[in-house]
Amino acid sequence: MDIPLDRFLNFLVVEKGLSPNTLEAYSRDLIQYFRFLESKGISDLSLTQSETLYEYLGTLRSRKLSGRTQARILSALRSFYRFLQEESLRTDNPTLPLQSPKSKRTLPKTLSELEVETLIRQPNTGTPRGLRDAVMLEVLYATGLRVSELIALTLDQLELEAHLIRTMGKGSKERLVPIGKIASQCLREYLLKGRPPLLKNPMAPWVFVNNRGGRLTRQGFWKILRQYGQKAGILKKVSPHTLRHTFATHLLEGGADLRSIQTMLGHADISTTQIYTLVTHEHLREVYRRYHPRA
């Protein structure tokens, strides 16, 4: 089977500006689909029909994959067949009749203000590594950055005098994110006292470096966060996205408007941001149930 997968992935980078994580997911999804086609004896992509895709989606459902995962796989297939059309490798797009699986929309897990404070206090700020960890937690909660944006931060993206951070989000879209006085002060202290001892190369551009002086990884940060979450005695699962959700929810509870939160989070569609209104409504219901005498 002659598959222009590399050309397609390169197209996604150049034309769509997709992130490495999205590219990896698309590549993995498509390779699994190609294996399915081979198992059916289909070797020509120009001949695949909608019926074949319906059958493939059926195999995904039988594997008990979530609706969200199925929708992502279908999105990858749609993009791929659209690319084949544009490259004149097909005259039609067999994914057009297919409907995206409905995904159950779960409310984001968030932390209380007390839990956030307890979490940020866990690192030993008397050491370079501990100071780095505390500042990363502070910055993540103060800005709502994605973990990929946090670990990719470079020194020239910091505008601490103006209390701003420039970050490159999904689709290679740059945005300015406000950062509060406390987080700005913590960053200055880290850059002065914590970062230099960790550096091996003084020319390294990354704000947050690992113990070997290189760029911190997503997995490395996730392990750090999990460690401090357990140490803080927080029973709920704490992930990098938990702090992002918490940032947005606390802003909304404090009276911030949805459009401003959308801009700070870098959401392309405000419907993505609206999930946080459900979180605050649930919070209000819980307050009512707890404190109203006739609840």
Concerning whether 241 is annotated as a catalytic residue, the answer is yes
Concerning whether 250 is annotated as a catalytic residue, the answer is no
- Residue from 154, 142, 144 nearest 181 by CA: 142
Structure tokens at 46: 């120009």
Q: Quote the Cα angle for 260-153-140, to 5°.
A: 50
Concerning whether 226 is annotated as a catalytic residue, the answer is no
Q: In this structure, are residues 266 and 170 in contact, taking their beta carbons and an 8 Å threshold?
A: yes
Q: Pick the catalytic residue from 90, 109, 170, 218.
A: 170
Concerning whether 63 is annotated as a catalytic residue, the answer is no
Helical axes 240-253 vs 258-265, angle rounded to 10°: 160
Q: Pick the catalytic residue from 121, 241, 281, 285.
A: 241
Please tell me what DSSP assigns to residue 170.
G
Concerning whether 292 is annotated as a catalytic residue, the answer is no
Q: Pick the catalytic residue from 72, 132, 146, 250.
A: 146
Q: Pick the catalytic residue from 56, 81, 141, 276.
A: 276
Contacts of 199 (CB under 8 A, 6+ apart): 209, 213
Concerning whether 236 is annotated as a catalytic residue, the answer is no
Report how far residue 274's alpha carbon sits from residue 270's, in angstroms, rounded to the nearest whole number. Answer: 6
Positions of E strands within 33-169: 158-159, 164-168
Burial of 145 (0-12, 13-18, 19+ CB in 10 A): buried
Structure tokens at 224: 């750090």
Structure tokens at 75: 């999105």
Q: Pick the catalytic residue from 132, 244, 245, 250.
A: 244
Per DSSP, the three-state class of 259 is helix
Structure tokens at 191: 């850059």
- Phi, psi at residue 201, to the nearest 5°? -115, 110
Q: Which residues are catalytic?
A: 146, 170, 241, 244, 267, 276
